[in-house]
A = this chain, B = another copy of it.
């Protein structure tokens, strides 16, 4: 696990900076100010300077950051300069979509193996990566130096998959199942729960009842 003093939110902004810096390099922009970065990301210039200073990246006052150096630095901080190997477990609809998307787009976080327990899927390929039986996870992860596991299996199977991934030496898990995973300290879990995203989105529409109104008119007001 990395420096715990750096907030997760700051880590999540690094890939955003990286994308903008990539665009700027394509546009042959050599120097970028925190104000320019703010305009392109929606974060404040103060926030940006603070984020980058966490990692020892200080722009030149009144000039800005060298786009290429900053990009290289962020890649190194994230570990993307070498590339990080990942496996995906669960080749259903979501897993297949994620694998296709990721294999087409990402060269720095590479899905090097896909696992499923369905013998109709095993042996088939997604973008050239073969679907393999679940039982092979441990060996393959060690052989391929895999650090990241992506879980797209149904909820009841997720914890068992996480346990195997941890035994296989995985350090970070992206969990798309709605299960709350138990992992030992030092293993980082990021959850993406589509049900939570959709249901919480409903709150921001006009369909919900205002809480205050609810208290006054609801038959449950005594609770």
Contact = CB atoms under 8 A, between A and B. Distances in A.
Nearest to A19: B178
Given A55-B214, A65-B223, 6 more contacts: A12-B200, A15-B199, A72-B220, A78-B200, A78-B202, A82-B207
A72 B211 CA distance: 13
A16 interface: yes
Contacts of A185: none
Interface residues of A, number: 84
Given A77-B203, A109-B202, A192 B192 contact: yes
A82 to B, nearest CB: 6
B73 A195 contact: no
Interface string A131-173: 0000000000000000110000000000000000000000110
As for how many copies of this chain the complex holds, the number is 2
Contacts of A56: 211-212, 214-215, 221
Contact of A97 (B84, B96, B201, B203): B96
A171 B211 CA distance: 18
A61 interface: no
Contacts of A223: 57-60, 65-66, 69-70, 73
Contact of A108 (B18, B105, B202): B202
A198 interface: yes
B194 A15 contact: no
Given A56-B215, A109-B199, A84 B205 contact: yes
A180 interface: yes
Interface in A178-223: 178, 180, 188, 190, 192-212, 214-215, 218, 220-221, 223
Contact of A2 (B6, B105, B178, B210): B210
9 contacts: A11-B200, A15-B196, A55-B211, A78-B200, A86-B198, A106-B195, A108-B202, A147-B205, A171-B206
Contacts of A98: 94, 97, 194
